[in-house]
Amino acid sequence: MTTRGTGFQIGRRGLLAGAAGLSALSLLPGQLRAEDAPKRGGLLRMGIGGGSTTDDFDLRKLNDWVPVNQAYMVMNGLVEIDADNIARPELFESWEAGAGALEWVFKVRQGVTFHNGKTLTADDVVYSLNLHRGDSSSAARSVAAAFADVQKLSEHEVKITLASGNADLPYVLSDYHFLVVPTGFDDWANPIGTGPFIPDSIEPGVRARFTRNPNYWKPGCANVDAVEVIVINDIAARTNALMSGQVQAINSLDFKTVDLLARNKNLQIVRSKGGQHYTFLMDCTQAPFTDVNVRQAVKYAVNREQLLQTALLGYGTLGNDHPIPVTDRFFNTELAQRAYDPEKAKFFLKQAGMDGLKLTLQSSDAAFPGAVDAAAIYRTAAAPAGIEVSIQREPADGYWDNVWMKAPFCMSYWGGRPTADQMLTIAYSSASAQNDTHWANADFDRLLGEARALLDDQKRREIYWELQRMIHDEGGAMIPMFGDYLDGVSKKVKGVTPHPMFNLMGARLAEKVWLDS
């Protein structure tokens, strides 16, 4: 089989473009018109939630919205996911796969320079990929573990040999951890990349300023003179900053204020459907969650419809305790939707030898806008099941370092991934550094590897359906809902479109937009 970067679709345009489920509805006034053309100049001010004083540009650690957005301002990826959820060439200009999709040869784009003047070569790509391999502490280590070998063939060719075939490799390489830095680079407080902007000043967790890269290689991009990022973790403060004109774009709107903001004639609301989902995480290695019956009880004690309508105001879809969205071609359509059932929750508690259960749920709006409210809704719903929930509200700053993956029971979110394999691998493989429920199942790992190597979509579908069932029945994640990505942007910002991957145009808004003069 041979697949090239400019045409790697294999029938996926119809499957994935439709699956992306993008929607602006009436909420996106001022959409890009054919006669609009990018303009140069101006300062773009962005208020972004999801930042911490512990943030830096270490590609192995990127774990929240501010560092991811800022990383894309400074650096480029190897492959970009477009608005139709299709893998497109970026620093990899094209690619070819050998028989069985085991060996891939990638052409490195020529004529690209780093901010320090160094020319991009295959050495930089090999170094950047190897940051995530072997004994690396990278969050993408489990994904990169599939790379049996990463080899420079020439100054502008890289060969990736896989441990087992993967027809989705270009999608895998779109992961935001796989950005590119110069070979040998390790000064993560002072990043150097090939991206659209050059860092001017950075105060982690507070603010940063970036100026246009005058030698940027992408036509029609890097249109503004400078970008200023203000870290505003509090959603009310972020919304007020947008309404007052202090900033021109914000991420992760409060679902309760979307309808009000949509009536503001100076603003546009960008609504994108994708794989973003919200999780109540049970650490399967800590009591009482070592017992699968307790995990089942917790899952039956949530009123999903109430959460969707109250916490998200209907801007999303019901979740079924696995991470694959209905928009994914491998979504299990035959897995029954778990309903709110306090009596069944009591049954599972009895199976665990319990008459009741007391839990402390650690929550913060850093997890997602409205997370604390969602925790309160769950507390009320769980009471009739004999589950007494105490909510421990945590500060936003440091939440991902101090609570996530450490607390026995806490809240989180996932931004989704372009393929089922990526989502399942990074969040549920026992080898993943971001397996945030610490759930380990050898059969799951084995089947996941088998599905990845198959080129027969029907056989892959059968396995992915089984993997979703396993997580649904046994896993430690209670996933009550998928939420639409909701951003607020000034109408003076042009070129804004919905995107299936993350808020703010897949974290690339600064690169794509321009300002109305």
- Please state, in angstroms and rounded to a whole number, the distance separating the CA atoms of residues 426 and 396: 24
Helix (H, G, I), strand (E, B) or coil at 481: strand
What is the tens place of the pLDDT at every residue in 238-268?
A: 999 999 999 999 999 988 899 999 999 999 9
Sign of CA dihedral 150, 153, 157, 163: negative
* Phi/psi of residue 112, nearest 5 degrees: -105, 135
pLDDT over threshold 50, residue 25 = no
Q: Answer whether 179's CB lies under 8 Å from 76's CB.
A: yes
> Sorting pLDDT into bands at 50, 70 and 90, what band is 57?
very high
Residue 27 has pLDDT above 80, yes or no: no
**274-316 tens-digit pLDDT:** 899 999 999 999 999 999 999 999 999 999 999 999 988 999 9
Q: What are phi and psi of 142, to 5 degrees?
A: -65, -30
Sequential DSSP letters for 235-294:
HHHHHHHHHHTS-SEESS--GGGHHHHHT-TTEEEEEE-SS-EEEEEE-TTSTTTTSHHH
pLDDT, residue 9, reads: 27
The Cα–Cα gap between 38 and 4 comes to: 29
SS3 assignment, position 427: helix
Given a contact cutoff of 8 angstroms between Cβ atoms, the answer to whether 243 and 252 are in contact is no
What is the C-alpha to C-alpha distance for residues 133 and 145, in angstroms, rounded to an integer? 6
Six-digit token pair at 25?
């509805």
pLDDT above 70 for 434? yes
- Percent of the chain scoring above 90 in pLDDT: 80
CATH class of 43-227+486-515: alpha beta
Answer yes or no: is pLDDT of 490 > 50. Answer: yes
The two three-digit tokens of residue 87, written as one number: 């893998």
**For 451-463, how does the pLDDT look when each residue is reduced to its tens digit (9 = 90+)?**
987 878 899 999 9
Task: Give the model's confidence band at 20: pLDDT under 50 very low, under 70 low, under 90 confident, else very high.
Answer: very low
Residues 87-100 have pLDDT tens digits of 999 999 999 999 88
What pLDDT score does 35 carry?
Answer: 45
Q: Which of 35, 38, 57 is nearest to 216 (CA)?
A: 38
In Å, how far are 135, 401, 441 from 430, measured between CA atoms?
16, 20, 7
The pLDDT value given to residue 124? 98
Q: How far apart are CA 21 and CA 441, in angstroms?
A: 32
Binned at pLDDT 50, 70 and 90, residue 191 comes out as very high
- Residue 78 near residue 180 (C-beta atoms within 8 A): yes
The pLDDT confidence band at residue 496, using thresholds 50, 70 and 90, is: very high
At residue 5, the pLDDT reads 33
pLDDT over 70 percentage in the chain: 93
pLDDT at 41: 97
Strands (E), 356-476: 357-363, 387-393, 409-414
Burial pattern 194-214, b for ≥16 Cβ within 10 A else e, equals bbbbbbeebebbebbbbbbbe
Strand partners, 179: 77
- pLDDT above 80 (res 17): no
d(CA 88, CA 81): 6
Tokens, residue 407: 């607390």
pLDDT band at 101 (very low <50, low <70, confident <90, very high): confident
pLDDT higher than threshold 70 for residue 28? no
pLDDT higher than 60, residue 31: no
pLDDT digits (tens, 9 = 90+) for 111-123: 999 999 999 999 9
For 366-424, how does the pLDDT look when each residue is reduced to its tens digit (9 = 90+)?
A: 898 789 999 999 999 999 999 999 999 999 888 999 999 999 999 999 988 888 998 99
Would the pLDDT of 16 be above 90?
no
Query: Which run of H or of E encompasses 43?
Result: strand 43-48
Domain extents in the chain: 43-227+486-515, 273-484
Contact yes or no for 31/22 (Cβ under 8 A):
no
Check: CB of residue 316 under 8 Å from CB of residue 483: yes
Phi, psi (deg, nearest 5) at residue 190? -135, 75
Q: Which of 206, 279, 324, 320 is nearest to 477 (CA)?
A: 279
Between CA 362 and CA 399 the distance in angstroms is 10
Check pLDDT > 50 for residue 19. no
- When the pLDDT of each residue in the chain is averaged and rounded to a whole number, the result is 91
Sheet containing 267-272, strands listed edge to edge, beginning at the edge strand earlier in sequence:
197-203, 207-212, 226-231, 43-48, 249-250, 485-490, 267-272
Measured distance CA(118)–CA(67) in Å, rounded: 24
CATH of domain 273-484: 3.10.105.10
Residue 69 has pLDDT above 80, yes or no: yes
pLDDT at 18: 28
pLDDT digits over 152-181, tens only? 999 999 999 999 889 899 999 999 999 999
